Chains A and B, each alone.
Chain A
Amino acid sequence: MNIIEVRNVTKEYSSHTALDNVSISIPKGCIFGLLGPNGAGKTSLIRIINQITGPDSGEVLFDGVPLNPNHISRIGYLPEERGLYKKMKVGEQLLYLAQLKGLSQKEAMEKLKTWFIKFDIKTWWDKTIGDLSKGMQQKVQFVSTVLHEPDLIILDEPFSGFDPINANLIRDEILELKQKGSTIIFSTHRMETVEELCDHIALIHKSRKVLDGAKREIKEQFKTHTYFVEYKGHLDELDPIYQILDQKILEDGYLRSNIHLDGGASSNALLLNLLSKVEIRAFGENIPTMSDIFMKAVNEVPEA
């Protein structure tokens, strides 16, 4: 079941096309990484899902139903450009934002209490936002994003501006929200975050979707059939089943090579082959990182 189905969405602005016939499915209960270089069209897509703007053509389904204003209270959105009313007090502001999302004052109060205890920010209630540090403001904004327990949480660069301790705190919260059944869309440039948290990804480049699917499958798809091996001894550069791509001498005298396995041979076959020739200290498959995949996918797209 997909919580979001983006179908053939196109969005044009006077001077450029932000989204060109983009279709993306976001499965329920996953952490979805929405990736892409700056200006690729991620924010436009997020704004369409948030109903801030509408698509020129195509449609977006939420839980199988075309987006409508009732969905607003089921979505929590943390924009990349953070902002709160500087002169308002923390408590008032959170109450206001929660009520705009459809909570009653009483419900909002109760939920806020638990969050204030959880984040240990009880003393902030009467502080003015402008008096808080940037990291503190971020925390307040995060609370406002998830307070109404939305089914879909959209986080645009959620970790920017957090120190490692608070970033961890937020990460744990995100995982907990996922446990509770929320779907989370991440828009980020930080590939390590994607690597760590995302189950699914979609990559948008130059207004088009160039890649999407489960992270695992994509990695499979981008596998290069190369292995690394650390060993002592000598290996010939060419062999019927493999080809040595590079070789480097490590400090302790061992050699490290990247080996490409030709035509369908298994890793065991390679290992057996190597065992007879050299003394192996380490062996493993080179799994592409998200960063590699990102670079590769972006560079493969022909210039429009």
Chain B
Amino acid sequence: MRNIFLVIRREYLVRVKKKSFLVMTVLGPLLFVAFYGTVFWAAVSSVDIKTVQVLDESGLFRNKFKDSETLKFESTNTSIDSAKAAFPNSDANALVYIPANVIQSPKSVRIYAAKNVSLELKSEIEKVIEKEIEDIKLAEAGITHKILEDSRVNVNSETISLSEEGEKTSSSGAATVIGGICAFLIYMSVFIYGTQVMRGITEEKTSRIVEVIISSVKPFQLMLGKIIGVALVGLTQFVLWILLTTALTSATSAVIASKMSKESAQIEQEMKKAQMPNQGLPGGNVDNPVAEVLGAVSSLNLPLIIGCFLFYYLGGYLLYSALFGAVGAAVDNDADTQQFMLPITLPIIFSFVFAQFVLRDPDGTLAFWTSIIPFTSPIIMMVRIPFGVPAWEIALSMVLLVLGFMGTTWVAARIYRVGILMYGKKVSYKELVKWIFYK
């Protein structure tokens, strides 16, 4: 036991004392906050305004294109050829050409631009044209503008989760964000720390120090010590990140919130001026969206999420790092690891891909099974937990995960034991299997 502790301490200190650890610890939350800060900022600050020239030969769309925060429409009356010729020298970012016969052949609408037009702009323009043509066609069919207005309803449902604590407004948006972030963090950390274990083992093997060490420490102790040491490095990093991020986000969100309240007031006024229908703006609710997100986040069971996150990080890491360790022991240098990496990385990558589907359907069959199976559960269960998962499912998945990593550690230890003393030999899968069953 003393030796295992010594190994853990060395593995931990060597990594924590590195400059890169310090840099990542400080930079991580900064990048994280900077990223989300930028997203929020971009959402509330007006981006540069794009000018769109409209050449409407049909005359149906006069004043139908409404200037928005990001788009400014100008109509032009020249012929299409001269408009096209003049376009490069104008300030406009795009030129929309609507032919006279647009109602008969809607597909003849053209958008010209120097660069590719953003999908957003394209759909914005198409939406206006489609709606107008629809209106005209409906009017021809005898449906008046009044009927149309009345028939438009706006459903904006609020999701309410029913639990023992009673009704509580939940936000599937916030759950999605939190679930996604957790899945991503586990995905990244399993890779980063798993490969650290692998590198560490290969380093010991290639530098031949392993022979000295295992004359004092059992191979299993050395492997386990390394795995635990690196796990603690990861935990330290996460705890520091959580602390730093909490500090930074509360500071940043205070700043953004103050800006937001000004901005949203402005937007509201502009909307009134432009007499735009309220639903036209995404999140056009007068409520402060940042406050909404923060409120939604606080409605989630954060202690449970953080607790589970740490458990699934550890479980997933232990499960995979043992396998990474086995690969490290089987090969002679980093370059040879590739051939054995694929079967290990595939389930991780798959779970990350599945996570995208599970985010959309957190209670489906796929979600259930992938969150129970140990190889995918660390990522998938973390996606599901913010949405609320029955306790027995979490318990089952946790127990299986523990069994899972005990299994992989057993397999890894058997490969490790033989592999670390095997120099200068290219091993095959067949050989690895043989090692596992060596007595």
Interface residues of A (CB under 8 A from B): 14, 47, 50-53, 69, 72-73, 75, 77, 79, 81-88, 96-97, 99-101, 141, 144
Instruction: Point out the residues of chain A lying under 8 angstroms from B423, CB to CB.
Output: 81
Asked whether B156 is an interface residue with its Cβ less than 8 Å from the other chain, the reply is no
Instruction: Point out the residues of chain B lying under 8 angstroms from A52, CB to CB.
Output: 211, 214-215, 421
Closest chain A residue to B9, Cβ basis: A96
Given contacts A77-B212, A81-B208, 20 further A-B contacts (CB under 8 A): A14-B434, A47-B421, A52-B421, A72-B215, A72-B216, A73-B216, A79-B215, A81-B211, A83-B208, A83-B209, A84-B212, A85-B14, A85-B203, A85-B204, A85-B207, A86-B203, A86-B207, A97-B212, A100-B7, A141-B212
Asked if A50 contacts B209 (CB within 8 A), the reply is no
Asked if A100 contacts B434 (CB within 8 A), the reply is no
Instruction: Point out the residues of chain B lying under 8 angstroms from A81, CB to CB.
Output: 208, 211, 423
Asked whether B213 is an interface residue with its Cβ less than 8 Å from the other chain, the reply is yes
Asked if B211 contacts A83 (CB within 8 A), the reply is yes
Interchain CB contact (< 8 A) of A144 among B10, B14, B212, B217: B212
Instruction: Point out the residues of chain B lying under 8 angstroms from A82, CB to CB.
Output: 208
21 A-B pairs within 8 Å (CB atoms) are namely: A50-B215, A52-B214, A53-B421, A69-B218, A77-B212, A79-B208, A81-B211, A83-B207, A83-B212, A84-B207, A84-B212, A85-B14, A85-B203, A85-B207, A85-B209, A87-B14, A96-B10, A100-B3, A100-B213, A100-B216, A141-B212
Report the minimum CB–CB distance from A14 to chain B (whole Å): 7
Asked whether B30 is an interface residue with its Cβ less than 8 Å from the other chain, the reply is no
Closest chain A residue to B3, Cβ basis: A100
Q: How far is the CA of A75 from the CA of B215 in the complex (A)?
A: 9
Q: How far is the CA of A99 from the CA of B5 in the complex (A)?
A: 11
Report the minimum CB–CB distance from B229 to chain A (whole Å): 12
Report the minimum CB–CB distance from A296 to chain B (whole Å): 32
Report the minimum CB–CB distance from A30 to chain B (whole Å): 21
How many B residues have CB within 8 A of the partner chain?
Answer: 22
- Residue with the greatest number of chain A CB neighbours at <10 A, chosen from B10, B210, B218: B10
Instruction: Point out the residues of chain B lying under 8 angstroms from A75, CB to CB.
Output: 215
Asked whether B6 is an interface residue with its Cβ less than 8 Å from the other chain, the reply is yes
Q: How far is the CA of A101 from the CA of B213 in the complex (A)?
A: 9
Given A52-B421, A83-B208, A85-B207, A77 and B215 contact (CB-CB distance below 8 Å): yes
Report the minimum CB–CB distance from A267 to chain B (whole Å): 48
Given A47-B421, A52-B421, A100-B3, A83 and B217 contact (CB-CB distance below 8 Å): no
Report the minimum CB–CB distance from B91 to chain A (whole Å): 58
Report the minimum CB–CB distance from B230 to chain A (whole Å): 15
Closest chain A residue to B219, Cβ basis: A52
Q: How far is the CA of A72 from the CA of B212 in the complex (A)?
A: 11
Given A72-B215, A77-B215, A88 and B208 contact (CB-CB distance below 8 Å): no
Instruction: Point out the residues of chain B lying under 8 angstroms from A99, CB to CB.
Output: 6
Asked if B210 contacts A83 (CB within 8 A), the reply is yes
Interchain CB contact (< 8 A) of A101 among B210, B216, B434: B216
Asked if B212 contacts A79 (CB within 8 A), the reply is yes
Instruction: Point out the residues of chain A lying under 8 angstroms from B212, CB to CB.
Output: 77, 79, 83-84, 97, 141, 144
Q: Count A-B pairs with CB separation below 8 Å.
A: 59
Report the minimum CB–CB distance from B219 to chain A (whole Å): 8
Q: How far is the CA of A77 from the CA of B215 in the complex (A)?
A: 7
Interchain CB contact (< 8 A) of B6 among A51, A53, A96: A96
Asked if A51 contacts B207 (CB within 8 A), the reply is no
Instruction: Point out the residues of chain B lying under 8 angstroms from A79, CB to CB.
Output: 208, 211-212, 215
Q: How far is the CA of A52 from the CA of B204 in the complex (A)?
A: 15
Instruction: Point out the residues of chain A lying under 8 angstroms from B3, CB to CB.
Output: 100
Q: How far is the CA of A77 from the CA of B212 in the complex (A)?
A: 7
Instruction: Point out the residues of chain A lying under 8 angstroms from B215, CB to CB.
Output: 50-52, 72, 75, 77, 79
Instruction: Point out the residues of chain A lying under 8 angstroms from B210, CB to CB.
Output: 83
Report the minimum CB–CB distance from A156 to chain B (whole Å): 9
Report the minimum CB–CB distance from B16 to chain A (whole Å): 14
Q: How far is the CA of A263 from the CA of B214 in the complex (A)?
A: 55
Instruction: Point out the residues of chain B lying under 8 angstroms from A73, CB to CB.
Output: 216
Closest chain B residue to A86, Cβ basis: B207
Closest chain B residue to A75, Cβ basis: B215
Instruction: Point out the residues of chain A lying under 8 angstroms from B14, CB to CB.
Output: 85, 87-88
Q: How far is the CA of A86 from the CA of B202 in the complex (A)?
A: 13
Q: How far is the CA of A69 from the CA of B216 in the complex (A)?
A: 9
Q: How far is the CA of A69 from the CA of B221 in the complex (A)?
A: 13
The 3 closest A-B pairs by CB, nearest first: A83-B208, A83-B209, A81-B208
Closest chain A residue to B434, Cβ basis: A14
Q: How far is the CA of A106 from the CA of B214 in the complex (A)?
A: 23
Asked if A100 contacts B207 (CB within 8 A), the reply is no
Instruction: Point out the residues of chain A lying under 8 angstroms from B6, CB to CB.
Output: 96, 99-100
Q: How far is the CA of A302 from the CA of B294 in the complex (A)?
A: 84
Instruction: Point out the residues of chain B lying under 8 angstroms from A85, CB to CB.
Output: 14, 203-204, 207, 209
- Residue with the greatest number of chain B CB neighbours at <10 A, chosen from A14, A47, A85, A144: A85
Instruction: Point out the residues of chain B lying under 8 angstroms from A84, CB to CB.
Output: 207, 209, 212
Q: How far is the CA of A98 from the CA of B117 in the complex (A)?
A: 68
- Which positions 389-439 of chain B face chain A at CB distance < 8 Å? 421, 423, 434
Instruction: Point out the residues of chain A lying under 8 angstroms from B421, CB to CB.
Output: 47, 52-53
Q: How far is the CA of A47 from the CA of B423 in the complex (A)?
A: 15
Q: How far is the CA of A82 from the CA of B209 in the complex (A)?
A: 7
Closest chain A residue to B216, Cβ basis: A100
Closest chain B residue to A145, Cβ basis: B212
Q: How far is the CA of A81 from the CA of B421 in the complex (A)?
A: 11
Q: How far is the CA of A100 from the CA of B225 in the complex (A)?
A: 13
Closest chain A residue to B13, Cβ basis: A92
Instruction: Point out the residues of chain B lying under 8 angstroms from A50, CB to CB.
Output: 215
Q: How far is the CA of A83 from the CA of B210 in the complex (A)?
A: 8
Closest chain A residue to B435, Cβ basis: A14
Q: How far is the CA of A10 from the CA of B236 in the complex (A)?
A: 47
Instruction: Point out the residues of chain B lying under 8 angstroms from A53, CB to CB.
Output: 421
Instruction: Point out the residues of chain A lying under 8 angstroms from B208, CB to CB.
Output: 79, 81-83
Instruction: Point out the residues of chain A lying under 8 angstroms from B207, CB to CB.
Output: 83-86
Q: How far is the CA of A50 from the CA of B212 in the complex (A)?
A: 10
Q: How far is the CA of A81 from the CA of B209 in the complex (A)?
A: 8
Closest chain A residue to B211, Cβ basis: A79
Report the minimum CB–CB distance from A202 to chain B (whole Å): 20
